[in-house]
């Protein structure tokens, strides 16, 4: 892999201070700009980590068909790299995700299979469907991002060290939501090894069970969320490795208000999970107002991956979502 290859240029993303939110709180809030990865999201790292580890174990060879069940971003990362490595690629997704994700996967040459969104216990869930298709296909590899610890490992080896270095070894808080749990686990472990004083906050949307599990030990929830790719009703092997000190829950109204604030005040177009992360980071900064504490979170992907939804007034009205920048005062 040369320094000019696509795979080599995954990672080493900029760290951006959110200057207006920092001024409002008297803290420093930073976002790791993962939307600037070649495939447009933090999941490029996950895809690279899983495929490279499988290559090293001899589980992949030219012509292998790679399968994955995903909300989209991991699939895009896999499809992008599959083209480079000369693998076939089949991606299974729920049929209620942003249209931009489907179009991107098709443009990358992936075979796309859409399934109805169903609970995890249902055998038709996208996770089980991808696993089953891989089992039925000769010369195949199922990535299994939720349970595959190569996901955790790539973030421990790359994302965590990058944050520590870019922050000049001065981090007070790390804030992140969880889908597979890979980024939260990898980064939290690395940062905690550097300083036990760093506080790690899990951010969870309504409809996910991790917030309640942190506080009560039970996986249960209330409500639902429009966010894609985060929130889950089970403990994955990746998530089990996370080191979490506190958990916050953020509503869709809070998230969408932050998303519009970031676009209009900070000039940064981020997706729903990133806006969720930043809102939680902002809440923590308000708790420590004027303390100068240094808070880092993840800007997972771009708003342009969801623009047919989140910048569509009709869609927002249907979801009863009305961005309110006054929430941030």
Question: The dihedral of CA 217, 72, 176, 192: what is its sign?
Answer: positive
31 in Cβ contact with 259 (< 8 Å): no
Alpha-carbon gap, residue 202 to 209, rounded angstroms: 12
Question: C-alpha distances in angstroms, 264 versus 47, 130, 160, 324?
Answer: 32, 39, 29, 12
SS3 state of residue 292: coil
321 in Cβ contact with 226 (< 8 Å): yes
Question: The dihedral of CA 138, 144, 147, 148: what is its sign?
Answer: positive
**Which residue out of 32, 43, 101, 241 is catalytically annotated?**
43
289 in Cβ contact with 28 (< 8 Å): no
End-to-end CA, the chain:
48
Within 10 A of 161 (CB to CB), how many other CB atoms are there? 16
Catalytic annotation present for 43:
yes
Give me Rg for the CA atoms of the chain. Answer: 19
- Tokens 């900070």 sit at which residue? 266
Q: Which of 93, 95, 116 is nearest to 43 (CA)?
A: 93
Return the active site residues: 43
């Amino acid at each position: 892999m040369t320094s000019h290859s696509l795979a080599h240029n995954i990672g080493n993303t900029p760290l951006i201070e959110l200057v207006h939110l920092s001024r409002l709180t008297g803290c420093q809030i930073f976002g790791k700009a993962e939307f600037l990865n070649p495939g447009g999201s933090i999941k490029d790292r996950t895809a690279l980590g899983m495929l490279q580890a499988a290559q090293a174990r001899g589980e992949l060879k030219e012509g292998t068909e790679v399968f994955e069940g995903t909300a989209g971003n991991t699939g895009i990362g896999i499809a992008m790299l599959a083209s480079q490595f000369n693998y076939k690629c089949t991606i299974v997704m729920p049929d209620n995700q942003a249209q931009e994700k489907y179009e991107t996967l098709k443009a990358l040459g992936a075979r796309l299979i859409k399934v109805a969104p169903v609970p995890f216990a249902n055998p038709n869930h996208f996770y089980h469907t991808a696993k089953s298709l891989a089992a039925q296909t000769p010369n195949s590899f199922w990535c299994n991002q939720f349970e595959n610890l190569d996901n955790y490992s790539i973030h421990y080896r790359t994302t965590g060290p990058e944050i520590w270095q870019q922050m000049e070894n001065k981090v007070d808080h790390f804030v992140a939501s969880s889908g597979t749990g890979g980024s939260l686990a990898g980064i939290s472990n690395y940062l905690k090894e550097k300083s036990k004083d760093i506080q790690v906050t899990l951010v969870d949307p309504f409809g996910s069970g991790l917030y309640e599990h942190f506080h009560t030990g039970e996986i249960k929830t209330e409500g639902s969320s429009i966010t894609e790719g985060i929130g889950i009703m089970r403990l994955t092997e990746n998530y089990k490795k996370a080191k979490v000190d506190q958990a916050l829950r953020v509503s869709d109204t809070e998230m969408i208000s932050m998303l519009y604030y970031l676009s209009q005040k900070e000039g940064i177009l981020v997706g729903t999970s990133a806006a969720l992360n930043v809102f939680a980071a902002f809440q923590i900064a308000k708790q420590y107002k004027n303390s100068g504490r240094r808070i880092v979170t993840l800007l997972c992907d771009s708003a342009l991956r969801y623009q047919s939804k989140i910048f569509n007034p009709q869609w927002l009205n249907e979801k009863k979502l009305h961005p309110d920048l006054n929430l941030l005062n």
